[in-house]
Amino acid sequence: MQPEDGPEQIRKRFERKLPRTFHGHSISVSDMLVLNKAGVVTSYYVEKEGFTVIAGFIRNGSSGAPLSFDTTHFHIEGKEGSWLAFDSVIIDGRQFFLMEHETYGKEAAWVVLDEDGKLIVDNVYQGFDQTVLQQIKDYLNPTQNITEPQVQDLPSGNSKEKQPLENWQKYMENGEYLRSIESGEEQNYSFIDGNKNNGKKKNGRVSVLKKLRQKQAEIAKRSGKPAQQMEATADMERRRK
């Protein structure tokens, strides 16, 4: 079969030319086509025009299974009254039954049970439609939730928990761009933490020359000499040395 194949496409293909490995007659009225498509097995009765789906034509349940296509007066846990099976489908080799309430019939929502009588799909209104088939497939192939690995408590010295970083380590982990900005603007490593300009900038510091001139001015003021004269005297002393 091709992915897009249905009973009509297969019938037309057989009418044009029989497959080399097929030794029977061409498809004709009263034949049965049993198709397994993506794990869902469906049986078709060949009419003169079109096809009729035959429920329960293929039965793979064991004799010991509590539920079969002939089941009636079945009691479902958690639901009132008795139920009967009136349709079935085989998916991935397992058979599922569409159950109808024996008293209310179509007035009550149908349910889907597996061969063991377990409720698989509740509140069914359109039979084995695509939504119900997908719910059955999800039941057969549940998705597994991937959980984050947990940090284990290990003996001292072997703990896998992340240790707090020193400032110089923050400097190395901040990234090339941020690290280059911080290293040029922060006062020292203690301010390198991912947020630039925590402290004073370098160009905000008082220069040594400015401190010297302030000191000279203080000495000149105490001695009564002008600051320029004090600076000239200091310059002469430096030259003599």
Average model confidence (pLDDT) across the chain: 77
**What is the band of 19 on the pLDDT scale with cuts at 50, 70, 90?**
confident
Q: Which residues contact 32 (CB under 8 A, 6 or more apart)?
A: 43, 44, 45, 46, 54, 57
Cβ pair 160, 152 in contact under 8 A:
yes
User: Are residue 127 and residue 89 in the same domain, yes or no?
Assistant: yes
Q: What angle do CA 183, 188, 190 make, to 5 degrees?
A: 105
Question: How many whole angstroms separate alpha carbon 9 and alpha carbon 53?
Answer: 16
Give the percent of the chain with pLDDT over 90. Answer: 29
Half-sphere exposure at residue 53, Cβ-oriented, CA atoms within 13 angstroms: 11
- Asked if residue 1 has pLDDT above 90, the reply is no
Same domain, 218 and 180: yes
Q: How many domains does the chain have?
A: 3
Residue 153's pLDDT band, with cuts at 50, 70 and 90, is low
Q: Are 90 and 101 in contact (CB under 8 A)?
A: no
Residue 74: predicted pLDDT: 92
Query: Residue 78 domain-assigned?
Result: no
The total number of residues shown for the chain amounts to 241
- Whether residue 149 is contained in a domain is answered as no
Helix (H, G, I), strand (E, B) or coil at 13: helix
Owning domain of residue 189: 164-226
Tell me if 219 is assigned to some domain.
Answer: yes
Asked if residue 210 and residue 172 are part of one domain, the reply reads yes
- For residue 228, pLDDT beyond 70: no
Instruction: Please indicate, yes or no, if residue 71 is contained in any of the structural domains.
Output: no
Query: With 80 as the cut, is the pLDDT of residue 68 above it?
Result: yes
Q: What is the pLDDT of residue 183?
A: 52
Which among 140, 173, 207 is the end of a domain? 140
The answer on 97 and 49 residing in a single domain is: no
- Which residues neighbour 168 within 8 Å (Cβ) at sequence distance 6 or greater? 189, 192
- pTM given for the model: 0.47
Residue 231 has pLDDT above 70, yes or no: no
Reported as a single tens digit per residue, the pLDDT across 70-101 is 889 999 988 999 999 998 888 988 889 999 99
Structural domain includes residue 62: no
What is d(CA 78, CA 209) in angstroms, rounded to the nearest whole number? 93
Indicate if the pLDDT at residue 157 is higher than 90.
no
Average pLDDT on 51-77 reads: 79
Do the domain assignments include residue 30?
Answer: yes
Same domain, 131 and 182: no
Residue with more model confidence, 8 or 201: 8
Predicted confidence (pLDDT) per residue in 182-221, tens digit: 555 555 555 555 555 555 545 555 566 677 777 777 777 7
Query: Is residue 152 assigned to a domain?
Result: no
Asked whether residue 59 is assigned to any structural domain, the reply reads: no
